[in-house]
Amino acid sequence: MSAEVDLGYEKRHDPRSIEELVRLALTEQDEDAAWEYVAVLHYKGNREVLEAAARLCSSSQPRERQLGADVLGQLGVPERTFPAECFDLLAAMLQKESDPMVFESIGVAFSHFRDPRSIPLLLPLRSHSDSAVRFGVVLGLTGHDQPDAIAGLVELSRDSDADVRDWATFALGTLIDADTPEIRDALVARTSDGDDDTRGEALVGLARRKDARVIEPLARELSNKDVGRLSVEAAEAVGDQRLHPLLVRLRDRWAADSPDAHLLEDALASCAPR
């Protein structure tokens, strides 16, 4: 029996009551420790947990509503339980919510469903004043390739918050295979972003689509003193021999025992002159 299976067995058979687990999740100050109690509720995934989450979602206390959304988002591990009921509870909750952190948790919860019905529910929040809400919207839209979801992600890839831009760019560039002029133009715009991760995700997304506009900004990144792994991944994906000399010079600078050394070797092979 694998360690993962053992862990799941332990969580599903945790002797504590649902009421106690909810109380512990609400009162634990350490976020990671609190999430351990939430994970136990996910693994149990029975109707008692569903009913407890539903009560939390209708609470007058934002922290309780947030916990309710967190539980509904991944109820049933490894196989979802009560998916229709969970989705409907979250959708109803969204219509009357006002707290930013609860909005974010609902967006994150929807990200685990990949249900296109969540797209029109989330899009009105894409211009919310709180960046945490917009981040939740990005996660909720991630993985959807419907035109309205893509348009929302394109807009969020221009967000003022770096985390929102980064994840929206990642969602457009890597997490869907759709290839449109709008996606490519959005990625090109992010190749000069002030955030390193956002720039890297844009380069990877363009490289995956073999867009020639990636070569110039990617060459700049590979010429920098500090080169991130995303730039090397992009070089491998685009496989352009013009990048090979830059990768050779990078190999001379990177330690052979670097955890990313294999990525560089793959990029060198992909960009080798033919």
The 10s digit of each residue's pLDDT in 184-229 is 999 999 999 999 999 999 999 999 999 999 999 999 999 999 999 9
Position 3 pLDDT exceeds 90: no
Query: 17 and 102: one domain?
Result: yes
Structural domain harbouring 77: 1-111
Q: For 146-192, how does the pLDDT look when each residue is reduced to its tens digit (9 = 90+)?
A: 999 999 999 999 999 999 999 999 999 999 999 999 999 999 999 99
Position 260 pLDDT exceeds 90: no
Domain boundary among 69, 95, 111: 111
Position 6 pLDDT exceeds 80: no
Query: 64 and 154: one domain?
Result: no
Query: 190 and 130: one domain?
Result: yes
Query: 144 and 93: one domain?
Result: no
pLDDT of residue 33: 96
Judge whether 73 lies within some domain: yes
Q: How far are the Cα atoms of 44, 62, 232, 242, 247 from residue 261, in angstroms, in the given order?
A: 41, 46, 10, 20, 11
Query: 127 and 205: one domain?
Result: yes
Judge whether 215 lies within some domain: no
Query: In the predicted model, what is the mean pLDDT of residues 21-41?
Result: 97
Query: In the predicted model, what is the mean pLDDT of residues 4-28?
Result: 89
With a pLDDT cut of 70, the percent of the chain lying above it is 97
Domain boundary among 57, 83, 111: 111
Q: What is the domain-level CATH number for residue 71? A: 1.25.10.10
Query: 197 and 226: one domain?
Result: no
User: Which of 187, 147, 140, 143 shows the shortest CA–CA distance to 165?
Assistant: 187
Query: 186 and 259: one domain?
Result: no
Q: What is the pTM of this model?
A: 0.93
Position 7 pLDDT exceeds 90: no
What's the number of CA atoms in the CB half-sphere (13 Å) around residue 163? 9
Query: In the predicted model, what is the mean pLDDT of residues 73-86?
Result: 96
Mean pLDDT of the chain: 95
Domain boundary among 78, 111, 144: 111
DSSP element (H, E) containing 45: none
Judge whether 156 lies within some domain: yes
Position 257 pLDDT exceeds 90: no
Judge whether 216 lies within some domain: no
Judge whether 61 lies within some domain: yes
209-212: which pairs have CB atoms within 8 A and are 24 or more residues apart? 209/179, 209/183, 209/184, 210/238, 211/184, 211/187
Judge whether 77 lies within some domain: yes
State the total domains in the chain: 3
Position 130 pLDDT exceeds 80: yes
pLDDT of residue 1: 41
Q: For 223-255, how does the pLDDT look when each residue is reduced to its tens digit (9 = 90+)?
A: 999 999 999 999 999 999 999 999 999 998 887
Position 138 pLDDT exceeds 70: yes
Region for residue 250 given its phi and psi (left: phi exceeds 0; alpha: psi -120 to 50; beta: otherwise): alpha
Q: For 43-73, how does the pLDDT look when each residue is reduced to its tens digit (9 = 90+)?
A: 999 999 999 999 999 999 999 999 999 999 9
Judge whether 159 lies within some domain: yes
Judge whether 179 lies within some domain: yes
Residue carrying structure tokens 């989330």: 122
